[in-house]
Amino acid sequence: MNILAIGAHPDDIEFGCGGTLLKYIRSGHNVYLLVMTEGHRGGQANQRRTEQKRAAEILKPAEIIWGSYRDTELSPKMNEMVQDIEIILDRIQPHFTFVHYDEDTHQDHRALAKAAVSATRYVKNVLFYEGPTSQNFSPTVFVDIRETMEEKLQVLLAHQSQVMKTNIEGLSIVDISKSTAVFRGISGRVQYAEGFMPLRMFLKI
């Protein structure tokens, strides 16, 4: 299968669905990352690109695709972004697509989620993932990531410039990721889990 994960900034995808993507890759599926911005507002653009590449050395996606957008300037009114996502969808033909949830305190995450809803209107299996700034996120789909949890944390650590940029004193992104996985795991009755809210999901029977 082909899997497409879309994120506004470097490290968004890894936090939201990194454990799930690692399971897909281990099972022989093709995972593609579409990162819309270089995240230059959160650090130097070149550094964040380098960190994304280092993370990919662990995650091993089939391809990292970079958008040409500026950090903090994504807009749901940008028809160009919808069209750019559609081009990638047409090329990859993903069986599953993962993207930000649209209730989020970060404007880029909200905008990208709304653009993705439009771009994926003819696509099966579209699921929203959770980020540290998501709000009112109530997942109904869970993936057990016990086997990939430690590797997911290593992928997040590859984004070295972002590890302590949580705006929560004493907590790193690794701490938050692990706590989130425990919390979603409790909901799903496993040790560690990632939760998703489906826009659409087809069961294969």
Q: Does residue 76 carry a pLDDT above 90?
A: no
User: How does pLDDT run across 82-128, given as a tens digit for each residue?
Assistant: 999 999 999 999 999 999 999 999 999 999 999 999 999 999 999 99
Report domain extents, the chain: 2-199
Q: Residue range 197-204: average pLDDT?
A: 95
User: How does pLDDT run across 49-61, given as a tens digit for each residue?
Assistant: 999 999 999 999 9
Task: Enter the pTM of the model.
Answer: 0.96
In the chain, the amino acid numbered 158 is A
The correct answer on CATH 3.40.640.10 for the domain covering 2-199 is no
User: For residues 128 and 154, what is the distance between their CA atoms, to the nearest angstrom?
Assistant: 23
Q: Does residue 77 carry a pLDDT above 80?
A: no
Q: SS3 of 44, please?
A: coil
DSSP state of 57: H
User: For residues 79 and 57, what is the distance between their CA atoms, to the nearest angstrom?
Assistant: 33
User: For residues 97 and 176, what is the distance between their CA atoms, to the nearest angstrom?
Assistant: 24
In the chain, the amino acid numbered 8 is A
Q: Does residue 79 carry a pLDDT above 90?
A: no
